[in-house]
Amino acid sequence: MSVENGRFSSWVTGIVVATRGRVGGAWAGLPWPLFVVYVLASISNAQRGGAMSAVSAVFTLLAGAAMFAALVGLFKPAWVMRWGKPTRVKAFLMYFVLMAVLSMGMDAPPQPSPIPASSHSVASAPVSSAPGSVVAALPAPVPYMLVSSEDMSGGSRKRWRYRIVPADADQSELSRQNMAATVVAAAKYYTETGGAALVQVILESQADRRPHAATQLATAEYSPDGKGAGNETGKVWRVTAGKRGTTTQEREMASLWGELRGHYQKDGLTDEDALRAAIAKRMEISPGEVKLPRILQEEVPLSPDQLAAVPSTGPAR
């Protein structure tokens, strides 16, 4: 039973004891059943700090009996009142009050005590410095070719951008990890050989430089000075990659799109339906199959150990 309920029951029973003998008539016989309540409530109050399941059970039974007597008193007051002049109102009110007081002696369901984590378990828990979505150990970088290099230096900070493509014609099986490892390996190589403070490497699907002909597969920004692309303190690496490479058919479509696009301009816009029809006719496929590849890149979180394990690798040829 709670402290508040204990205090309230003591208050009610105190009033009963204080008014004993002062109320006459049919209520003169009331103190003796409420005296039992007073005794039981006192026991419960004395033991409220501990487990009182047995006392609570007694209170529950008595409250149930009082409720039953209150209902019986509405119909047969003489059955439950053996003193004074029994009336329905008196019988019901007496046992209703008795039931309410007894209900205060019932314990609330026990609540589990929170168990604080021990300082030892907290201190010994391993703390990972890498993000939760860090990929597994990267595979070996795939062979690549250098397409172009561009000096992007500004002020006193030397910056270079390198565009590379997979050396092998079949790139449809390339995974996100393959491409991430490749741009990291190339970024390390060009930083070592060029001495730039920031190196950006872009892995593309093919060397065709016409608009829409090449698709970006992965990128890496490497700044050994820790200033990143925007002079951000502590930003050494930023790696992004798509989930796959492109198929041979996708690269052919993209090349034809770049080749034929200039012939299908209307009011400054590309007539894509006519362009798709021309590409489909050239490839002997339906126009509905003509689509530019869409490779969505996502940032690849890598731990320092994973980055250190990728070897510096130059172009295959």
Higher pLDDT, 50 or 22: 50
Is the pLDDT at 316 greater than 80? The verdict is yes
CA angle 238, 152, 180 (to 5 degrees): 25
> How many Å from the N-terminal Cα to the C-terminal Cα in the chain?
84
Among residues 241, 203, 235, the alpha carbon closest in space to that of 222 is found at 235
Is the pLDDT at 247 greater than 50? The verdict is yes
User: Going by C-beta distance under 8 Å and a sequence separation of 6 or more, which residues neighbour residue 41?
Assistant: 6, 9, 10, 13, 101, 104, 105
Q: What is the pLDDT of residue 241?
A: 95
Q: How far apart are CA 11 and CA 7, in angstroms?
A: 6
How does pLDDT run across 126-174, given as a tens digit for each residue? 333 344 445 567 888 999 999 999 998 877 789 999 999 999 877 888 9
Is the pLDDT at 73 greater than 50? The verdict is yes
Strand partners, 241: 218, 298
| For range 234-263, the mean pLDDT | 91
User: Going by C-beta distance under 8 Å and a sequence separation of 6 or more, which residues neighbour residue 123?
Assistant: none
| For range 180-190, the mean pLDDT | 96
| For range 280-297, the mean pLDDT | 92
Question: Which residue type is seen at 111?
Answer: Q
Q: Which residue has the tokens 């007539």?
A: 271
- Give kind and range of the element (H or E) at residue 15: helix 3-18
Q: What is the pLDDT of residue 40?
A: 52
Q: What is the pLDDT of residue 101?
A: 72
Among residues 43, 33, 31, 54, the alpha carbon closest in space to that of 6 is found at 43
Token pair in block for residue 231: 């002079």
How does pLDDT run across 80-92, given as a tens digit for each residue? 676 667 777 776 7
Q: Which residues of 268-290 are buried (b: 16+ CB within 10 A; e: fewer)?
A: eebeeeebbebbbeeeeeeeeeb
Q: Which residue has the tokens 């060397």?
A: 207
Q: How far apart are CA 232 and CA 239, in angstroms?
A: 15
Q: What is the pLDDT of residue 152?
A: 87
Q: What is the pLDDT of residue 169?
A: 76
Among residues 208, 299, 203, the alpha carbon closest in space to that of 250 is found at 208
8 A C-beta contact, residue 105 and residue 59:
yes
| For range 241-247, the mean pLDDT | 92
One-character DSSP codes across 101-142: HHHTTSPPPPPPPP-PPPHHHHHHS----S-TT--SS--PPP
Higher pLDDT, 12 or 84: 84
Domain 144-247+293-309 architecture: Roll (3.10)
Is the pLDDT at 299 greater than 70? The verdict is yes
How does pLDDT run across 213-227, given as a tens digit for each residue? 999 999 999 998 887
CATH 3.10.310.90 residue window(s) in the chain: 144-247+293-309
8 A C-beta contact, residue 152 and residue 159:
yes
Mean pLDDT of all residues belonging to the chain: 75
